[in-house]
Every structure is written in C-alpha cells, then in structure tokens.
Amino acid sequence: KNPRAEEFRGWRILDEGGDQWKIEGTMVQHSNPAVKKNYVTSYLCRKQQLINLREEGYSPSFMDEFQPHIRISDYAPRWDCGSIYEICVQLLNDEQDVLKEFSPEPISFPQWNDQQWNQMVHVFKNYGPGVRYVRFIHGGKDTQFWAGWYGIRVTESCVEV
C-alpha cells in the first residue's frame, strides 16, 4: 500500500530519529514515470508494512500448495550526504512467527555519488507451507548527523506474489 510516497497511509512508523520521516519530490527521474515522490529519512528512521496475504486474496491452501514466488523490491538513492539504507522482509505464519527472512547487511552510499536510483530485489522461493503475512521494514539514516532530511530516500516499495 502506498509505495510511492503519496502519504504515510499503510505504513507504521517504527523509528523517527532526528527530524523524522518526510515526503518530498524526487530529485532525479525514476525509471517509472509514475514515481514523483519519495520518502526521506533524517537520522535513524524505519517504517514497516504488514501484509495479510489472505486479505489480499491469497488463500492458505494456495500459498501452501503452490508456494508462489514472493518478490520484493525497493529503490533508494542519495548523493549530497552519505547515507545508510536498511531493509528486512519477513515471511510470517498465522501467529506472525518468522518462517523466512531477507535481511542483508546495511548498504552505505558515499557522499557525492552518482545519485542514481538503486534497486534492491529479492525473491523468496520454496519457502515451505504456512506463510500468511509479509512484513516489510525499511529505512536508514545519514552518516553526517546533519539536521534536516539528508538520510536515504526510498520509493516504489513493492511486494509481488
């Protein structure tokens, strides 16, 4: 829900360090022309979305028998200040216990880089029966401790079944 930073609806704020999260227009054109805005962090900001697969139309029997691939993606750039990007995506059962997790090491973007959108992609395959939810958490921070919104920018966050 709300992957392109039109508002914060659908997202639960976990951490709002510094000057908190902000929505702003993109500074560089995205490969998807529909993307006009992004979320931007201040110092140490994280947010999450919990996706109930049953509510989205995926029955438990379908998820257990077919175990369709679950592809996640997210986009992040920054250039005028060093920044750190973090993502953690978890496949959860009915009790919201973690069955599988994608949580790579934080990614550091140096100051004065090429400011291109960088896409993070992961595909869950053969994850076993019991998946009922997807928890998507992302965020980051700036590395200079500057006041304002100089942390990582994120947009076009996606979970595809």
What is the rounded CA–CA span in Å between residue 39 and residue 42? Answer: 10
**Distance, CA of 117 to CA of 152 (rounded, Å):** 11
Q: Give me the pLDDT at residue 67, please.
A: 97
**pLDDT value at position 82?**
85
pLDDT value, residue 6: 85
| pLDDT under 50: residue ranges of the chain | none
Q: What is the pLDDT of residue 88?
A: 97
pLDDT for res 69: 98
For residue 27, the model assigns a pLDDT of 78
- Residue 117: its pLDDT value, please? 81
Domain 12-155 has CATH 3.90.550.10: no
What pLDDT, on the 0 to 100 scale, is given for residue 64?
A: 98
pLDDT of residue 66: 96
- pLDDT for 17 equals 82
Query: Distance between CA 88 and CA 34 in Å, rounded?
Result: 25
Phi, psi angles (nearest 5°) of residue 61: -65, -40
The pLDDT score that the predictor gives to residue 150 is 75
In this prediction the pTM is 0.90
